[in-house]
Amino acid sequence: MNRIETSRLESPGRVGTWRGLGLWNLYFIVKLALYWRGAIDFDALANLVFAAFLLVPLPPLWLHRLRHVAAIPVGVVLFYHDAWLPPFERLLAQSSQVGAMSPVYLLDLAGRIVNWEWLGVLFVLAVGYGFIAPWIRVSVPVVLGLVWLAVAPLLPVAGPVPQESALAALPSAPSRGLADVVQADEPAPAPTEEASDAVLDRRLEAFYAAERQRRTQFAARPAGAAPFDLLVINICSLSWDDMAVAGLTDHPLFDYLDAVFDNFNSATSYSGPAGIRLLQASCGQRPHGALYGDVPRECHLFENLAELGFAQNLVLNHDGQFDGYLKELQQEGGLDVPKLPMNGLAPVMTAFDDSPVYADGATLERWAAQDTAGAPSATFYNTVSLHDGNRYVGQRGFADYRQRLVTLFDDLLTFLQRLDQEGRRVAVLIVPEHGAARRGDKMQFPGMREIPNPTMTHVPVGLKLTGMAQPRQGEPLRVSEPTSYLAVSELVSRLVASDMFGAERVDWPGLLSGLPSTAPVSENEAVVVMPYQGVPYVRLKGDGWMPYPQ
């Protein structure tokens, strides 16, 4: 402890030793600098209480030093509390998943967490503190700063400038910006109450209460209607924002589609819940916990199709073992059929857990080569070709995302064109799981998907009807309303209840207009993101709501 930081009060009637914060000054200076730059939040009262605990006089020097050592875990917990990180319970819950990841991938993730710019700032602050500490009692301005942050919000004038919403930084679909998605709350009078925990909690409860009443009604197929197959292509790690970062928003695949959903919300940022939500699409959006366990049979899209005579197929271009993904599809998604075997196919990539990943073109060709004997089928296809941490076979480095995205889009376009050329009647729905979080933000480093923010859940959904006698010409039709999985289920029910493939002309307005609209509310375990008055708010377990920071 330097001499300037220590003031011994030894006059009669006074006992105790007022020592400064010492190296804890650097702790608070770093946090204040990060807060000033908007990199973390700052619980002013908790930090002030912690500083007071460190300042309370303890006469024996050894006890003073022991307190500083004992305070280290408290300081770590407080720093974690102030940082925009997921609840600690979620990290513990995912520890088993971390063990299944390859060491190379874990090392890459660690490199993303390190912010070299802030390491440089930390170095400068440490050197600056070491230089001025012998001459200035640093604890005084530090404590005054903590007091100001705690008191300022109580004053009539404005306190610290609140963090801006992430709204300005969010990407947009080609024909409609994501700002429109965020502002498109559940159809109702525009909210006028100021945002607060109580107001946002009520709004979320009202959203789920309304969603519980929504169902898709499936009608029997018309007599003599032309049979067709349904192919749902579920793509891991693809959002409009990822396409923008890769510079592929104008890929020819999207010009070849018949319809594109500009404002589709995947409602989650993890694969298992995304697959389950898609397979449970025939009911309104459910809270995360309600996806598991006793789910009404009528919620399962593929079971509804099975009752109408569609054979069920499950195809993956991976083994589906990580985090029990395949088991979740079969048990919670109502798709209890074995997946199509990949025997004889050579993998083109190795996943982050060292499991094989097969080429999308080859996998889809294997599906198309199945002998269906003319019976209609409904197929769920999931691809992880874009997943973070994939490596091409025979190469050490991680595969470039843009290169993989080009390959995937090219494979899908070639496959759709082949179905058209063969005259095979297939309704193809492209429905990504969630984005890859290529950019990252203040709350999550690139690739982290714990919080389902709009850049990850705003995904490109498209429809293509192949094998049509008169294919639709021109640019794809656009569905601009905010939609989610219930719209997919309704679209499928309309395809089944009509004879689109047998009619001379497709009734596109009847097929696409008036699809169920759903507010862009997203949820992972212990995390909810919801728009209110044009601003996305996030609620972490154990905390209240806050605007998603830019």
What is the rounded average pLDDT of the residues 350-358? 92
Of 60 and 192, which is predicted with more confidence?
Answer: 60
Question: Residues 489-493: what's their mean pLDDT?
Answer: 98
Q: Is the dihedral of CA 53, 55, 57, 61 positive or negative?
A: positive
Q: Is 165 helix (H, G, I), strand (E, B) or coil?
A: strand
Q: What is the DSSP string of 103-131?
A: HHHHHHHHHHH--HHHHHHHHHHHHHHHH
pLDDT over threshold 70, residue 401: yes
* Per-residue confidence band for 11, with pLDDT thresholds at 50, 70 and 90: very low
Cβ(289)–Cβ(274) below 8 Å: no
Three-state DSSP at 380 gives: strand
What value does the CA radius of gyration of the chain take, rounded to a whole number of Å?
Answer: 28
- The residues facing 231 across adjacent strands are 379, 428
- Provide the residue type at 175 as one letter: S
Domains along the chain with CATH numbers = 6-154 (no CATH), 204-343+377-388+428-547 (3.40.720)
- CA geometry: angle at 545 spanning 541 and 549, to 5°? 105
281/275 Cα distance (integer angstroms): 10
Distance CA 3, CA 1 (A): 7
CA distances (Å), origin 175, targets 290, 350, 478: 34, 36, 8
What crossing angle do the helices spanning 24-36 and 116-132 adopt, rounded to 10°?
130
- Is residue 485 within 8 A of residue 249, CB to CB? The reply is no
Burial label, 489 (beta-carbon count in 10 A; 0-12, 13-18, 19+): buried
Per residue, the 3-state secondary structure of 482-532, as one string, reads: CECHHHHHHHHHHHHHCCCCCCCCCCHHHHHCCCCCCCCCEEECCEEEEEE
Say what the pLDDT of residue 523 is. 96
Angle (deg, nearest 10), helices 44-55 and 139-151: 140
pLDDT category of residue 370 using cuts at 50, 70 and 90: confident
**Cβ-contact 247, 241 below 8 angstroms:** no
Beta-ladder partners of 173: 176
Question: What confidence score (pLDDT) does residue 243 get?
Answer: 97
Q: For residues 532-550, b (16+ Cβ closer than 10 Å) or e, as one string?
A: beebbbbbbeeeebbbbbe
Of residues 15 and 470, more confidently modeled: 470
Length of the chain in terms of residues written = 550
Q: Which tokens hold the place of 513?
A: 């207009």
The token duo for 272 is 């298992």
Q: What's the confidence (pLDDT) of residue 89?
A: 58
Q: Both tokens of residue 502?
A: 């047998």
Q: Which of 106-110, 118-122, 127-131: highest mean pLDDT? A: 127-131
pLDDT at 355 over 60: yes
Q: What is the amino acid identity at position 402?
A: R
Crossing angle of helices 44-55 and 24-36, in 10° steps, is 170
Crossing angle of helices 61-82 and 44-55, rounded to 10° = 170
Is the model more confident about 262 or about 121? 262
pLDDT value for 1? 42
Q: Biggest alpha carbon distance in the chain?
A: 105
DSSP 8-state code for residue 168:
G
CA distances from 306 to 31, 153, 333, 418 (A): 57, 59, 13, 27
Rounded to whole angstroms, what are the CA distances from 535 to 102, 173, 262, 452, 545? 38, 18, 19, 15, 12
Residues 264, 461: contact at Cβ < 8 Å? yes
Give pLDDT tens digits for 455-482.
Answer: 999 999 999 999 998 889 899 999 999 9
Least confident of 190-204, 209-223, 271-285: 190-204
CA distance linking residue 479 with residue 264, whole number of Å? 9
Rounded CA separation 13/109 (Å)? 58
Residue pLDDT, tens place only, 249-304: 999 999 999 999 999 999 999 999 999 999 999 999 999 999 998 999 999 999 99
Residue 98: the pLDDT is: 52
